[in-house]
């Protein structure tokens, strides 16, 4: 089970981020933000450290386009044999 940035980096995982700022119900109608980006693992490890838990990552990210703190992450394993484990955890962590 990969739980930290260091483990994910070593194993060759990919992490994609997308903005979680969907359509809002509110006084103002806000356009949905479609920002999406594949994060650079090496930069993440360099800035957060190898022991940083993957589960905490989304709480430290903000959308560069709209500033939303609701950034969703998708973790892609290095090979498809692990796909079942990912599905069990949910491919997106809020």
User: Which residues lie near Zn ion (CB under 5 A)?
Assistant: 19, 21, 33, 35, 63, 65-66, 68
- The full 3-state SS of 14-76, as one line of letters, equals EEEEEECCCCCCCCCCCCCCCCEEEECHHHHHHHHCCCCEHHHHHHHCCCCCCCCCCEEEEEE
Rounded-to-integer distance, Cα 44 and Cα 35, Å? 18
CB of 70 to Zn ion, least distance (A): 8
Q: And the tokens for 12? A: 């060759």
Of 65 and 89, the one with the shorter C-beta distance to Zn ion is 65
CB of 82 to Zn ion, least distance (A): 29
CB of 12 to Zn ion, least distance (A): 28
Of 30 and 86, the one with the shorter C-beta distance to Zn ion is 30
CB of 28 to Zn ion, least distance (A): 15
SS3 assignment, position 12: coil
Of 49 and 92, the one with the shorter C-beta distance to Zn ion is 92
């Amino acid at each position: 089970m990969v739980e930290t940035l260091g483990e994910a980096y070593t194993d060759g995982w990919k992490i994609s981020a997308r903005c979680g700022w969907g359509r809002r119900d509110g006084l103002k109608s806000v356009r949905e933000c479609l920002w999406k980006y594949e994060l650079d693992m090496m930069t993440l490890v360099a800035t957060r450290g190898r022991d940083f838990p993957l589960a905490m990552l989304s709480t430290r990210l903000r959308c560069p386009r709209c500033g939303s703190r609701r950034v969703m992450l998708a973790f892609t394993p290095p090979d498809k044999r692990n796909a079942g484990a990912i599905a069990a955890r949910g491919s997106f962590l809020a």
